Chain A
Amino acid sequence: MRRAPYDGVVLTAPVSVPYVRYTNETAHWWIARALREVLKIIDMTPPELDGLSVSSFTLAPDTPVGLTQHLGLSPRWLDTVPMGGACGVAAMRRAARAVQAGDVDVVACVAGDTNRIDSFRNLLSAFSRFSMDATFPYGFGGPNASFALLQDAYMAEFGTPREAFGQIAVAQRANALKNPQALMKKPLTLEDYMNARMISDPIGLFDCVMPCAGAEAFVMMREDMAVAKGLPFARISATIERTNAFPNDPIQLRGGWAVDVDELWQMAGHGPEDIDLLQTYDDYPVICMMQFEDLGFCAKGGGAAFVAKHDLTIGGDFPHNTSGGQLSVGQAGAAGGYLGLVEAIRQVTGTAGPTQVPDARRAAVSGFGVINYDRGLCSAAAVIEGAGA
C-alpha cells in the first residue's frame, strides 16, 4: 500500500536548551525548560497544550504520565518513545499522524536528560536486560566497547583507515566552533584525533561523545495553525523506521536504513543527491559512515572514499551535522536523538543563525539507537523541507 503523505502538518518551534556537563537538576527540570521555551514560541499556556511526546532515560521513578501532573499539563494525546538515538524521528512521525488525523491539535515533542556525577555508570548498569546479562560483566566498557567491536569488524571488512572516521569528527568540530551552545570549544585537527589516547581500541577519545545534561524540543501542528501564528515551519516529505533489522548479521555492519531506504527516497520524490544537508546520529563516527552508506549517499564500504571526496563542514559541498553533532555539542541522553532533527528544522526554516547553511531548504535526518546487546536496534530517517522548498 502506498503511504499517505504528511500533508497539512508541519514542524515548528525548534528549541535546544544549552547543555551542561554535570547538573544537580533532574530530567523533569530540563524537560520543563524546553517545554516552556516551545510554549512561549507558539504562544500557548501549559493547560492549552493537548499533545505531548516525551523521550528520557532519567525520569525514573516517573513516566511521562507523572510528568503531566508535575508540569500542570492535561494532554488528550500522550506518547513516550524509548528509541534512544532514533527517538526524534520516531516521535515526529507518530505525532504527525495524530495531528493529521485530528486526534490532537498540537504536540510538543521533548527529549531531555540529566547527568549527575556517576549517573552515567548507573544509567548503563540498568540499561537493558541483555546488557546487564551479557555486556556489562565483560569489562564494562559501556557503548565505547560495543561500538569498538563493531568498528573493529567494519575496518577489517572494508579496509577503512582510522583517518576516515577522524575526518568526520574534525569537520563536526569545525561546525561546532560556530555553535555557541556546543560544549567542545577547542579546534580539532586530524593529528589531534589520531594522537588522542585510545578508549577502547580502535575507538579513540575523539570518537566518543561526552555525556551531559540538556533538552531538545520541537512542535508538531496543523499547517493552518502555524500560518495563523506566523511561525516559520518545515514539512515532512518522507520517513522510515525499523527496529531489530538484520538479526542474522553476525556483526552490525549495516543498520535498518538499508531495509527501508528505497521507500524513503521514493516517498520523498527525489534522491539523496537532492538534499542540502544531512544530520546523522553520531554517537561514533563509524555510525555516521554507516548512515552515509545505508541511506544511499555512497555504496556499502564506500564511506571512507565518500568522506575523502567531500567537505562535511557548514560551508562545504556536503554539510553534515551542522551544529557540531553530539561529538562536539555533547550527548544529553535521549536529547541526542533529537539534536539532528531540531537543527535540521532550524536549517530548512533559515533560523539556524551562526551554523546556517546558505539556502538550505531540504534536509535528511537519521537516527540510530539502543544498544540492547551487541548492536543498535532502532533506526529511523526522515526528509524535511522548509516552506520555501
Chain B
Amino acid sequence: MTEPLAPPPKKNPQKRTLTPLLPPATRSRAALGLGVMAATGRFGLQVCAECQAVQYPPRDACVKCLSHDLPWQDVDPAGTLMAETTIRVSPEPYFRERMPWRIGAVKLDAGPMLNCHLHGEVARGDTVRMALKLDRAGQGVLIALPLEGSDVMQDDPVLRAMSCDPKHRRVLISDARSPVALALAEALLAAGAAHVFAGEPEAWRHWPARAAFEAMEDVSLLPLDVTDVSSVQKLSAEIGGKVDILINSARFTRPGGVLGNDTTFARDAMEVNTLGLMRLAQGFGPGMAARVQDGTNAAAAFVNLLSVQALVPDAGFGAFGASQAAARSISQSLRAEFRASGLRVMNVYAGPGEDDPWFQPAPPPKVTPKALARSVVQGLVDGVEEVTCGDVARDVYARWQDNALLLERELTGAGA
C-alpha cells in the first residue's frame, strides 16, 4: 500500500540544496516516440501497419514481417506482471540516490514484454495497467499501475517523481486578474497545494474578485506585473525560492486582423503574452531549475496557459494569434533549456473562455474557468507536457497534428 505523503518539514537553510540529477536520457530516434506519447498522456506503441504486430522496444522494422511502416498507435494498456525485482545497487547517480527501486517485466495483452517501473501497489502475478510517463529527464518511460489504485496512489514515490502533482507544493499564478485565476487557486488548494501566490498587477485598479482571493486561506496576493522587469525581479527575490509550480495566466487580448489595425495593441499583446512569459522565465526559471531535487516540495513545473490560436491563427485576432504563437515558441525553447534540470514545461491550450469578454461573440462550446483549472491540475498530476482543454482545443490540436496546412485552409475560409 502507498504511504500517504507527509507535508515536508521546514527547509533547513544551512543544508545544501541537492543538485538535480536526471535518469539516463539518451534514446534512439525511434524510442523518442515513447516521449511523444507520454507528453500527451497517451499509452501507445508502434503497431505494424501491414501485420498489426505491436512492437517493443521501439524498432525501425517490424519484428514479425520487416515492414518499415510502424506508426505509433494507442494500445490496450492491460498486462500481467510476470516478474519483479527490487534493485538495491546501481552505478547510476540518479537511481543510486533513490535505492531501492523496483522494476518488473510485464506481458502486455497486446503482445510484447515490457520492462518497466513498478508502482508500489503492484506485485508479481497482478493484472496491471501500463502507462507511459515522462521521467525527470523528460523521456517517456513505462510504469505498471494497479488496476484500481488506493486513494493515495499518486503519493507513490516512483509515480510522484514522474508527476508534477501540486500536493504539498507552492504555486505562483502570475495574474490573479485573469478570469481563470480564482478557479485555478481553488482547484490547486483542493488538490493539496500548500500555498498559492497570486500576482496582482496594477493593484490600484479595482477588481471585483479580489475579495474572494482575500477570503481564502493559504493564498497571498502579491504585486506582480509581467510587463515590468523590476516587478518580476522584486517578487522573484521575495518568493522565488518557494515557487514549486509557476502558472502563467497573464494575457492581453484584442480582436482585429492584421490589416487595418495599428501596431499598438500588437505591441501590448507581445509585451504581456510573449515577453511577459520571457520575463517570468528569466525571473523565476533559474531558481526553480535549481530546486528540482528539493524534497517533497521540489520545483516541478512551469505552466503556460495558451490560446489554441498558438497553433493556428484566427484571422479575426491577427496580433493576438501572433503573440500566442510566439509564446508557444518561447515555451518550447524553455522546455529545451530546462531539460537538463528536470523542470517540466507544460502548455495548456484552450479555446475561447466562457467569461472572456474579448471572445463574447464567439459561438459555443466555450471553456469555463473551472474546466480550465481542472485540466491544469490534472495535467500536473499526470505530469504531461501538452494539455488541451475543451472540445475546441482538442479538435484543433488533433487536426493540427494530423495536417497543419489542411487545418489552416479549413479555418481561414475555404472549409465547407
Q: Which residues of A contact B (CB under 8 A)?
A: 118, 120-121, 124-125, 129-130, 132-142, 144-146, 148-150, 152-153, 156, 197-203, 247, 250-251, 373-374
Among the interface residues A118, A130, A140, which one has the most CB atoms of the partner chain B within 10 A? A140
A139 touching B101, Cβ below 8 Å:
yes
A200 touching B113, Cβ below 8 Å:
no
10 pairs across A/B with beta carbons < 8 Å? A121-B91, A140-B23, A140-B87, A141-B103, A148-B87, A149-B105, A153-B105, A198-B86, A200-B89, A201-B86
Q: How far apart sit A125 and B94, CA to CA, in the bound complex (Å)?
A: 14
B115 touching A135, Cβ below 8 Å:
yes
6 nearest A-B pairs in the assembled complex, by CB-CB distance = A140-B92, A148-B85, A133-B31, A141-B87, A134-B57, A121-B91
Known: A121-B91, A140-B95, A156-B124. A134 touches B86 (CB 8 A): no
B353 within 8 Å of A (CB atoms): no
A140 touching B83, Cβ below 8 Å:
no
B88 touching A200, Cβ below 8 Å:
yes
Known: A136-B92, A139-B117, A251-B105. A149 touches B83 (CB 8 A): yes
Q: How far apart sit A373 and B57, CA to CA, in the bound complex (Å)?
A: 8
List the A side residues contacting B85 at CB < 8 Å.
141, 145, 148-149, 152, 200-203
Known: A132-B27, A150-B83, A251-B113. A137 touches B141 (CB 8 A): yes
Q: How many residues of B contact A (CB 8 A)?
A: 41
Among the interface residues A138, A145, A156, which one has the most CB atoms of the partner chain B within 10 A? A138
List the A side residues contacting B137 at CB < 8 Å.
137
List the B side residues contacting A124 at CB < 8 Å.
91
B300 within 8 Å of A (CB atoms): no
B135 within 8 Å of A (CB atoms): yes
B26 within 8 Å of A (CB atoms): yes
Residue of chain A at shortest CB distance from B32: A133
B300 to chain A, nearest CB (A): 19
B28 touching A251, Cβ below 8 Å:
no
B233 to chain A, nearest CB (A): 38
Q: How far apart sit A156 and B95, CA to CA, in the bound complex (Å)?
A: 27
B181 to chain A, nearest CB (A): 37
B139 to chain A, nearest CB (A): 6
Q: For chains A and B in complex, what number of residue pairs have CB atoms within 8 angstroms?
A: 121
List the A side residues contacting B135 at CB < 8 Å.
137
Among the interface residues B57, B58, B84, B124, which one has the most CB atoms of the partner chain A within 10 A? B57
Q: Which residues of B contact A (CB under 8 A)?
A: 23-24, 26-28, 30-31, 34, 56-58, 63, 82-92, 94-95, 101-105, 107, 113, 115-117, 124, 135, 137, 139, 141-142
B24 touching A201, Cβ below 8 Å:
no
Known: A138-B116, A250-B107. A149 touches B101 (CB 8 A): no
Q: How far apart sit A138 and B333, CA to CA, in the bound complex (Å)?
A: 27
B91 touching A140, Cβ below 8 Å:
yes
A142 touching B105, Cβ below 8 Å:
no
Instruction: Name the contact of B57 in the complex, choosing from A133, A141, A145, A152 (C-beta under 8 A).
Output: A133
20 extra interface residue pairs, beta carbon distance < 8 Å, beyond A140-B94, A152-B84, A199-B88: A120-B91, A132-B27, A132-B28, A133-B31, A133-B58, A134-B57, A135-B115, A137-B137, A138-B141, A139-B87, A140-B87, A141-B95, A145-B103, A148-B87, A149-B105, A153-B105, A156-B124, A203-B85, A251-B105, A251-B113
Residue of chain A at shortest CB distance from B25: A137
Q: How far apart sit A121 and B95, CA to CA, in the bound complex (Å)?
A: 13
Q: How far apart sit A156 and B82, CA to CA, in the bound complex (Å)?
A: 9
Known: A152-B85, A251-B82. A140 touches B90 (CB 8 A): yes
Q: How far apart sit A200 and B84, CA to CA, in the bound complex (Å)?
A: 10
B88 touching A201, Cβ below 8 Å:
yes
A139 touching B105, Cβ below 8 Å:
no
Q: How far apart sit A144 and B85, CA to CA, in the bound complex (Å)?
A: 10
B273 to chain A, nearest CB (A): 36
Residue of chain A at shortest CB distance from B80: A250
A374 touching B113, Cβ below 8 Å:
yes
A149 touching B124, Cβ below 8 Å:
no
A109 to chain B, nearest CB (A): 31
Q: How far apart sit A141 and B86, CA to CA, in the bound complex (Å)?
A: 9
Q: How far apart sit A136 and B56, CA to CA, in the bound complex (Å)?
A: 15
A153 to chain B, nearest CB (A): 4
Residue of chain A at shortest CB distance from B90: A140
List the B side residues contacting A125 at CB < 8 Å.
24, 26
Q: How far apart sit A22 and B141, CA to CA, in the bound complex (Å)?
A: 34
Q: How far apart sit A153 and B81, CA to CA, in the bound complex (Å)?
A: 10
A153 touching B103, Cβ below 8 Å:
no
A23 to chain B, nearest CB (A): 18
Q: How far apart sit A140 and B89, CA to CA, in the bound complex (Å)?
A: 9
B104 to chain A, nearest CB (A): 7
Known: A138-B115, A140-B24, A152-B124. A197 touches B141 (CB 8 A): no
List the B side residues contacting A137 at CB < 8 Å.
23-24, 135, 137, 139, 141
Q: How far apart sit A40 and B26, CA to CA, in the bound complex (Å)?
A: 45
A256 to chain B, nearest CB (A): 18
List the A side residues contacting B113 at CB < 8 Å.
250-251, 374
List the B side residues contacting A199 at CB < 8 Å.
87-89
Residue of chain B at shortest CB distance from A149: B83
List the B side residues contacting A129 at CB < 8 Å.
28, 57
List the A side residues contacting B57 at CB < 8 Å.
129-130, 133-134, 373
Instruction: Name the contact of B90 in the complex, choosing from A142, A150, A251 (C-beta under 8 A).
Output: A142
Q: How far apart sit A15 and B101, CA to CA, in the bound complex (Å)?
A: 41
Known: A139-B117, A141-B85, A251-B82. A134 touches B92 (CB 8 A): no
Q: How far apart sit A200 and B95, CA to CA, in the bound complex (Å)?
A: 13
A2 to chain B, nearest CB (A): 32
A209 to chain B, nearest CB (A): 14
